[in-house]
Amino acid sequence: MIPLEWYLGLSAVLFCIGIYGVLSRRNAISILMGIELMLNAANINLVAFGRFLQPQVLSGHIFTVFVITVAAAEAAVGLAIVISVYRNWQHINVDEIDLMRW
Amino acid sequence: MNLPAIPNIPVPTIEQIGFGIMAMIVIGSALAVVTLRNIFHSALFLALAFLGIAGIYLFLAADFIAVAQVLIYVGAIMILLMFALMLTHRVMTSSLRQTIGQWRWAAAVSVWVLVILVRLVVLHPWGMDKLPSKAPTTAIIGTELLTKYLLPFELASIVLLVAMVGAIVLAKEDKPDDPA
């Protein structure tokens, strides 16, 4: 049997890799990839806690289903924004897009 | 002569070795996602990471979530990412610099958060060794979604509809001679 700490450690490492990806990349699509990694880390935590706390109730699974739904919506809207930005700027480097800077 | 007692090293079971291999695949491909210069390669490694996370769900006896992970993440979100990459193909050349100037600060922040999280995981007495059940989960999830979680379920469908309409409106090319 695999202890709960292993799942939590894996999810912590994955979350921090996602943070690094979001903070360090300049391509907007890479930033979206980092966000997806962080959401997956949270999902692993939800399912692991649900299995070790209340294995019969499955609240963690339900939460994960909703998180996956929201992640799909977020990816669709985010990529639409990226394509719209690309049409106006011919690039999607977030450190050069300063349209809203005062 | 009195030998010191050999500490009792726990032998990992087959399940634990499999989990270790799967976790190595997930972490390695996630690192490749955030470090590779070619974005197309990092997208492919992201698909590998999603598949590995589906394997982790199988270790947690979450069969429905594992299949949903493969269908939605590997099937839908990855295809969406690939489409966006190909539509913005001018940024896909691998010679382009991919990190911002302050990437060292980003690494420092993420290592700091990692230290905090790992310290919490190691030091907190979880004490959760309840032997979990391995029953199939799909029927229970369906029943719960349509009884206890009916309102969030319907709200999720509205969220998906709004996101779909919003994505179409945002990505649509507005022509200047369009009368509408």
The span from the CA of A19 to the CA of B162, in Å, is 28
The span from the CA of B21 to the CA of B4, in Å, is 33
How high is the pLDDT of residue B2?
64
**Greater model confidence, A66 or B172:** A66
- Which among A10, A22, A31, A38 is the top mutation candidate for probing chain B, defined by the most B β-carbons within 10 Å of its own β-carbon? A10
The span from the CA of B66 to the CA of B46, in Å, is 16
How high is the pLDDT of residue B104?
87
How high is the pLDDT of residue A93?
83
Please compute the mean of the pLDDT values over residues B22-31 and round it to a whole number. 94
Is A89 an interface residue toward B (CB < 8 Å)? Answer: no
Collect all residues of chain A within an 8 Å Cβ-Cβ radius of residue B59: 2
Cβ distance B23 to A44 less than 8 Å, yes or no, reads no
What ipTM describes this predicted complex?
A: 0.91
Cβ distance B65 to A43 less than 8 Å, yes or no, reads yes
Cβ distance A95 to B100 less than 8 Å, yes or no, reads yes
Whole-model pTM: value is 0.87
How high is the pLDDT of residue A74?
92
Cβ distance A1 to B117 less than 8 Å, yes or no, reads no
How high is the pLDDT of residue B6?
63
How high is the pLDDT of residue B87?
85
- Residues B27 and B52 sit within 8 Å (Cβ to Cβ): no
Instruction: Give the pLDDT confidence of A7-58 residue by residue, as tens digits.
Output: 999 999 999 999 999 999 888 899 999 999 999 999 999 999 888 887 778 8
Instruction: Give the pLDDT confidence of B97-150 residue by residue, as tens digits.
Output: 777 778 888 899 999 999 999 999 888 887 766 656 677 888 888 998 999 999
Asked whether residue B39 carries a pLDDT value surpassing 80, the answer given is yes
Please compute the mean of the pLDDT values over residues B20-49 and round it to a whole number. 92
Collect all residues of chain B within an 8 Å Cβ-Cβ radius of residue A58: 137, 140-141, 144
Please compute the mean of the pLDDT values over residues B47-73 and round it to a whole number. 93
Q: Range with the lowest mean pLDDT among A49-58, A81-90, B88-97?
A: B88-97
How high is the pLDDT of residue B161?
95
How high is the pLDDT of residue B110?
93
Collect all residues of chain B within an 8 Å Cβ-Cβ radius of residue A16: 110-111, 113-114, 117
Collect all residues of chain A within an 8 Å Cβ-Cβ radius of residue B147: none
Q: To the nearest whole angstrom, how far is the Cα of B130 from the nearest Cα of chain A?
A: 6
Written as one letter, the residue type at B62 is A
Cβ distance A79 to B167 less than 8 Å, yes or no, reads yes
Q: To the nearest whole angstrom, how far is the Cα of A60 from the nearest Cα of chain B?
A: 10
Residue in B46, B110, B168 closest to A36 by CB: B46
DSSP string, chain A: ---HHHHHHHHHHHHHHHHHHHHHB-BHHHHHHHHHHHHHHHHHHHHHHHHHH-TTT-HHHHHHHHHHHHHHHHHHHHHHHHHHHHHHHS--BTTT--TT--
Residue in B129, B137, B156 closest to A66 by CB: B156
Q: For all residues of chain B together, what is the average pLDDT?
A: 85
Phi/psi at A25 (5° precision): -85, 155
Asked whether residue B89 carries a pLDDT value surpassing 80, the answer given is no
A26-54 exposure pattern, b = at least 16 Cβ within 10 A, e = fewer: bbbbbbbbbbbbbbbbbbbbbbbbbbbee
Collect all residues of chain A within an 8 Å Cβ-Cβ radius of residue B64: 61
The span from the CA of B171 to the CA of A83, in Å, is 6
